Amino acid sequence: MSSPVPAAVASASALSARGLRYQVTGRSILDDLDLEVPPGTSVAITGPSGCGKSSLLNCLAGITLPAAGTITVAGHDITTASPSRRAALRLAHIGMVYQFGELIPELTALENVALPGLMSPARPHEVYVRAEELLGELGLAGLRTSPTATLSGGERQRLAVARALIGSPDVVLADEPTGALDGKATQAVAELLFALPAQRRCALVVVTHAPAVAERGDTVLILADGKLESVR
Ligand SMILES: Nc1ncnc2c1ncn2[C@@H]1O[C@H](COP(=O)(O)OP(=O)(O)O)[C@@H](O)[C@H]1O
Ligand SMILES: [Mg+2]
- Cα separations in angstroms, 27 against 46, 50, 81, 128: 20, 11, 26, 45
Q: Angle 98-102-105 (CA atoms, 0-180°, nearest 5)? A: 160
Q: Residue 54 has what pLDDT?
A: 97
Please list, in sequence order, all residues whose beta carbon lies within 8 angstroms of the beta carbon of residue 145, skipping any fewer than 6 positions away: 108, 109, 110
* C-beta 48 within 6 A of ligand 1: no
CATH number for the domain running over 15-230: 3.40.50.300
Q: For residue 46, give the ligand nearest its CA.
A: 1
pTM, two decimals, is: 0.93
The average confidence (pLDDT) of the chain is: 93
What's the rounded mean pLDDT across residues 209-229? 96
For residue range 53-105, what is the model confidence (pLDDT) as tens digits?
Answer: 999 999 999 999 999 999 999 999 999 999 999 999 999 999 999 997 899 99
Spatial separation of the C-alpha atoms in residues 191 and 176, rounded to whole Å: 14
What does 111-173 look like in DSSP terms, one character per residue? HHHHHHHHTSSS-HHHHHHHHHHHHHHTT-GGGTT-BGGGS-HHHHHHHHHHHHTTT--SEEE
- Domain segments of the chain: what residues? 15-230
Read off the DSSP letter of residue 102. -
pLDDT band at 11 (very low <50, low <70, confident <90, very high): low
For residue range 144-159, what is the model confidence (pLDDT) as tens digits?
Answer: 898 888 899 999 999 9
Residue 4, by phi and psi: left (phi above 0), alpha (psi -120 to 50) or beta? beta
Spatial separation of the C-alpha atoms in residues 34 and 229, rounded to whole Å: 10
Which of the listed residues 29, 173, 206, 209 should we mutate to test ligand 1's pocket, taking the one with most ligand atoms within 8 A of CB?
29
Atom of ligand 1 nearest to the CA of 176: 21
Distance 196 CA to ligand 2 centre (A): 22
**61 close to 224: Cβ distance less than 8 angstroms:** no
Q: Which of 226, 187, 198 is nearest to 42 (CA)?
A: 198
Spatial separation of the C-alpha atoms in residues 70 and 67, rounded to whole Å: 10
